[in-house]
Amino acid sequence: MTDDVKDDDLAALPAERLAEMLREKRRAEAAVRSRLREVETERDALSERVTAWQGDRFAALAKDGRVVESAVKDVASLVPLESVLDDAGLVDAEKVSAALDGLRQERPHLFQQVGASGPDSFGGAHGVPQPVSWSDVLR
């Protein structure tokens, strides 16, 4: 190639130079596509982590809101996570409380009942189950 012919003047370039320019362009595009796939994979992994953290925070607030331990996943499936996030993407305790109050009206069985001392409340002293006879069962 002579000094007076520039790469911008494609018609004046020899076919070999055009082919080389095309290969360089395709290599650069492939590198960009590869980097894009890497960044998308990283973004997806980070998004999954953030969603998991948000779900864990929601579960902790649900337990504090007297949701039965075995019903936390059910409550999480009934309350869309997006509905309890603030503008920054953090779980808003007030929104969770409001959502739980609404859910408590619709599905009270998902919540600990007032007066129950917990999953081991058998009515006996110190959570020790009392023996049950057939006459107690048949009553």
- Give pLDDT < 50 ranges for the chain: 1-3, 120-121
Q: Which domain holds residue 22?
A: 12-112
d(CA 95, CA 88) in angstroms, rounded, equals 14
Half-sphere exposure of 120 (CA within 13 A, CB side): 5
Q: How many domains does the chain have?
A: 1
Q: Write down the pLDDT at residue 1.
A: 46
Give CA 9 to chain center in angstroms: 53
Contact call for residues 58 and 95 (beta carbons, < 8 A): no
For residue 81, is it within any domain?
yes
For residue 133, is it within any domain?
no
Instruction: Please tell me the pTM assigned to this model.
Output: 0.62
For residue 5, is it within any domain?
no
d(CA 124, CA 106) in angstroms, rounded, equals 32
